[in-house]
Amino acid sequence: MRIGRYLSVFAFLPFLISLAGPYCCNSWASDADDILGNSTCVECHEGQAETYKRSLHGRALGAKKEMKDRYGCEFCHGPGAKHAEDESAESIVSFERKRGTQAEVKNAACLKCHSASDEVALWAMGQHEQFDVSCSDCHSVHADSKPHANPSDRCLVCHKDIRSEIRRLSHHPVKENKVSCNDCHNSHGAMARAMVRDDSINELCYKCHAEKRGPFLWEHVPVEENCANCHNPHGSNRPGLLKARVSTLCQDCHNGVSHSSLPYDQTSAFGSTRSDPASRLLVGRSCLNCHTSIHGSMHSDNAFFLESSGRFLNR
Amino acid sequence: MRRSKMILLSAILLVSTAVVSAAEDASYDGSVSLEGRVTDQTGQSAFLNQYEDMDDAVFGNFWANYYKGKAYLELEGRNFSLTDQSYGLKVGRYETFKFSFSYDEVPHKISLGARTFYHGIGSNTLTYSAVDRQKDTDTELIPNVSTDPATWSVFNYEEQRRTFGVGLELSLNSPYFFRVKFTEDKQEGTRPAGVVTGVFPDVAEYMLSAMGNVVELPKPVDYKTQNTVLEAGYRSERVVFKLSGMLSDFKNENKELSWRNPYVTTEELHEIISLPPDNDYYKVAGQVSVQLPYRSALAVRGGYSKGTSESLIDPTIPVSTDGFPPYFLPFLPLESPIYGTRELDLSTNRFEGVTSRANASVAFSSRPTKSLDIRAYYKYFERDSDSSVITFSTTDPEDPTNTGTVQNHPYGFEKHNAGIDLGYWLPMATKAMLGFDWSDIGRDELPIAESTTDREVWFELLNRHFEACTLRLKYAHLDRSSDFKLGDIGESLIDPISIKRFVRYYDSTDKNRDAVR
């Protein structure tokens, strides 16, 4: 692989462009008479000023003359003149949830800069905006040196049903910090349902599970339509993230004729003998005992010997 | 190893840039920790260790941050020396560039200490040693495998995934951006698979049953996936435009698994199950979002992807000299058959798989007043298959003059989805929402139903007044209809096949559902 060599070339580019002038998202309007400047804010909020210095915003924007002098705190919190007079939380834009500032107002402060981002570009289309979630519900600008929210901590505070699902027997390794909510979902908004990061569920899953991509000689229609027809990606008490037990799940569709419609119960499973091996239909992997290539098969097929059938996903 | 050195050198160069370019005071912090652990695991230890390494070990963690002005370096390592170790490096300068490197190992344990009479676990050939039995002498109806567990193979159903990634983003203090990211993912291990084996055809006068017995096979997993993603675009407060492309290559070291059938006891008979084929995939997509007046936004997105695979199809199947497979005997045999293979007649033995997906979507969002918000959307998605159509022909063993054929049917579908949502803020942080969603799926040549249409109306109340919780109450009514094709199947209700008039797949049945949650 020549990846390393190409990356080395890229590494030299920053040397050449590091003297480029700063690009900032916008030029912000201001009501100059109501702007007091950072020094006034720090008189009362010295602690917040200290934490801000160490924060990512403080480091990234601290070099800006405007931010240092006149548009520091008030760029996000709004003009401070009225707040300086009455010292109430309602006279300033407060990002604490208990202060009751509307989410739209809080978000507008963040979006002044961060709307110029492809990650946040679809914020208006997403469910979080629709349900009045504010940026500060997940991100803590002052407290953290890295305000990127940790999805495993932040998402699951609200999405408690998902929190219970990822703790089930079969789950993606979210709580083990190997998979993040953000790997599949764009919490800042997306056009797809459930704000997934791709145009379809299958294309999203194939990024990590390319062995399911095919194309296969013999396809299984529900597999090709939507992985979520059979799987719950957050977690399940059945193996393989399946929504239901194998025979029950398969019988959602295969409930017509032949053995697929049989009511597999204790008499057909545990009352069988070696010469009448009906138990394979229920115990172990149930339908998958025989139909092993359930996601698709590359095996040949024929009209008369069904057991060695690629068409029925047996091989 | 050489690739790792090149990447490390690149990282050092980038770090140097960040350090040299900065003018402000630097800050740094970090930590290194070393731990020892002794664990006592009893019971289902595979599930305790499903995605984590919980064995006795000495392991450590470290992190280091270096900040100087707008430049930064963040280094992190977790659980080094364990099988779930991970490392990450981020270097960059805000609004200029970002470089990232990551390495992650993920174990996945399914069952530990499994046993099988097969040998060759982890390979694509499973076999065992046995003395062939004399024909027509087996009355015990058990496979001819060793019954001494001491001779069996002991192994773990587990996989280890190793993912390596590098990425670079350039924005160069401009509204333009460019990203490239490469990841390589390797999976190695063993998974369980089941297969039908047949009914002791070595025993004369044996009463057949439907499909026979099954055996569990340890299936080898040896996958490698390489993904390359390129993105470029323009972003400003009003307009964000992005083009993206992805190339993906999947390789499987094992195209098929050969296994000895333990229910054929008079000779050694190997059969085959197919494993996932190598495949290539690419996708291109474009997206633009525009901020409009009156707090409105419009977004448009389109994409196209294509996946291909190429395989040679094995035309042979194992059969007895009577012409039947090892697992299907319609008559009570007078003596056990001898096994061979039969060549199927294929229209072509080269399968070229081609599937494509295309999508287009548009969404509009607006807040015309302080309390009212509106969303409208439309999405089109299509999946098409131009894969090879192969015809398999063979003769009926009971009537050699009768030829039967089967053919694969590449599948495609298209889906339209549109809807509109309205939301209105009431006092006390309460929001009332009303929505309508319509979707229509058309499927290629499915015999049961070719299209399904869903219409859903929903109403929801949301309250965020309380800091400790959010209250939601939703009612939804779904109306589903499909063009069911089997309503008149069968000559009469006495005809067994007429049962199909009354059973439908869950997604192709008419439905009227009210849900409250």
B41-90 confidence digits (pLDDT tens): 887 788 888 999 988 999 999 999 998 888 999 999 999 999 999 999 99
Window from A58-62, B90-94, B440-444 with minimum mean pLDDT = A58-62
Name the residue with tokens 């990024």.
A207
Nearest CA distance, A33 vs chain B (angstrom): 25
**Using CA atoms, how far apart are residues B513 and B456, in angstroms rounded to an integer?**
9
pLDDT of A15 over the 90 cut: no
Contact A298 B351 (CB under 8 A): yes
Q: Which residues of B touch A55 (CB under 8 A)?
A: none
Helix extents (H) in B37-79: 45-48
**Using CA atoms, how far apart are residues B138 and B142, in angstroms rounded to an integer?**
8
Looking at residue B21, its pLDDT comes to 45
From the CB of residue A90, how many other CB atoms can be counted at a distance below 10 Å?
A: 12
Give the pair of three-digit tokens for residue B48: 């305790």
Torsion of CA A293, A297, A299, A304, to 10 degrees: 80
**Using CA atoms, how far apart are residues B92 and A60, in angstroms rounded to an integer?**
11
Contact B314, A302 (CB under 8 A): no
Q: Which residues of B touch A20 (CB under 8 A)?
A: 96, 172-174
Q: Find residues 91-130 of chain A whose CB sits inside 8 Å of chain B.
A: 97-98, 104, 112, 115-118, 121-122, 124-125, 129-130
* Edge-first strand listing for the sheet containing B270-274: B125-126, B256-260, B270-274
Looking at residue A25, its pLDDT comes to 37
3-state secondary structure of B284: strand
Share of chain A above pLDDT 70, in %: 75
pLDDT of B303 over the 80 cut: yes
pLDDT of B202 over the 70 cut: no
Average pLDDT rounded to a whole number, residues A80-105: 82
* Edge-first strand listing for the sheet containing B391-396: B345-346, B391-396, B399-407
Question: Which residue from B minimizes the CA distance to A105?
Answer: B370
Q: Which residues of A touch B319 (CB under 8 A)?
A: 305
Average pLDDT rounded to a whole number, residues B404-428: 92
* Structure confidence by residue, pLDDT tens digits, A42-92: 888 888 888 887 788 877 776 555 555 555 788 888 888 888 888 887 788
Question: Which residue from A minimizes the CA distance to B442?
Answer: A225
Give the pair of three-digit tokens for residue B34: 């070393």
pLDDT of A190 over the 60 cut: yes
Contact A3 B505 (CB under 8 A): no
Interface contact A169, partner B, CB < 8 A: yes
Question: Which residue from B minimizes the CA distance to A2?
Answer: B3
Interface contact A271, partner B, CB < 8 A: no
Nearest residue, CB atoms, B93 vs list A1, A18, A132: A18
pLDDT of A19 over the 60 cut: no
Question: Which residue from A minimizes the CA distance to B434?
Answer: A130
Torsion of CA A309, A312, A314, A315, to 10 degrees: 60
pLDDT of B393 over the 70 cut: yes
Looking at residue B487, its pLDDT comes to 77
Looking at residue A96, its pLDDT comes to 82
Contact A211 B250 (CB under 8 A): yes
Looking at residue B339, its pLDDT comes to 67
**Using CA atoms, how far apart are residues B17 and A18, in angstroms rounded to an integer?**
8
Share of chain B above pLDDT 90, in %: 57
Contact A11 B315 (CB under 8 A): no
A153 versus B120: the higher-pLDDT residue is B120
**Using CA atoms, how far apart are residues B31 and B14, in angstroms rounded to an integer?**
23
pLDDT of A31 over the 60 cut: no
Question: CA-based diameter of chain A, in Å?
Answer: 93
**Using CA atoms, how far apart are residues B138 and B334, in angstroms rounded to an integer?**
14
Contact A290 B195 (CB under 8 A): yes
Report which of B198, B194, B197 is spatially closest to residue B219, judged by C-alpha positions.
B194
Name the residue with tokens 């480091």.
A59
Nearest residue, CB atoms, B272 vs list A21, A304, A315: A315
Name the residue with tokens 């019971």.
B43
Share of chain B above pLDDT 70, in %: 87
**Using CA atoms, how far apart are residues B68 and B115, in angstroms rounded to an integer?**
57
Report which of B154, B213, B224, B241 is spatially closest to residue B188, judged by C-alpha positions.
B224
Looking at residue A12, its pLDDT comes to 41
| Stated pTM of the model | 0.86
* Structure confidence by residue, pLDDT tens digits, B252-300: 999 999 999 887 777 788 888 999 999 999 999 999 999 998 889 999 9
Looking at residue A290, its pLDDT comes to 86
Contact B294, B366 (CB under 8 A): yes
Nearest CA distance, A74 vs chain B (angstrom): 20
pLDDT of B181 over the 80 cut: yes
CA end-to-end span of chain B = 55
Across the strands, what pairs with B164? B103, B184
Contact A4 B237 (CB under 8 A): no
Torsion of CA A201, A206, A212, A217, to 10 degrees: 80
Identify the residue among A114, A171, A217 best suited for mutation to test binding to B, counting B beta carbons within 10 A and taking the highest: A217
* Sign of the torsion angle spanned by Cα atoms B190, B193, B199, B201: negative
Interface contact A208, partner B, CB < 8 A: yes
Give the pair of three-digit tokens for residue A225: 């339509």
Count each helix (H run) and each strand (E run) in chain B, helices first. Answer: 2, 26
Vertex A288: Cα angle to A286 and A292 (nearest 5): 160
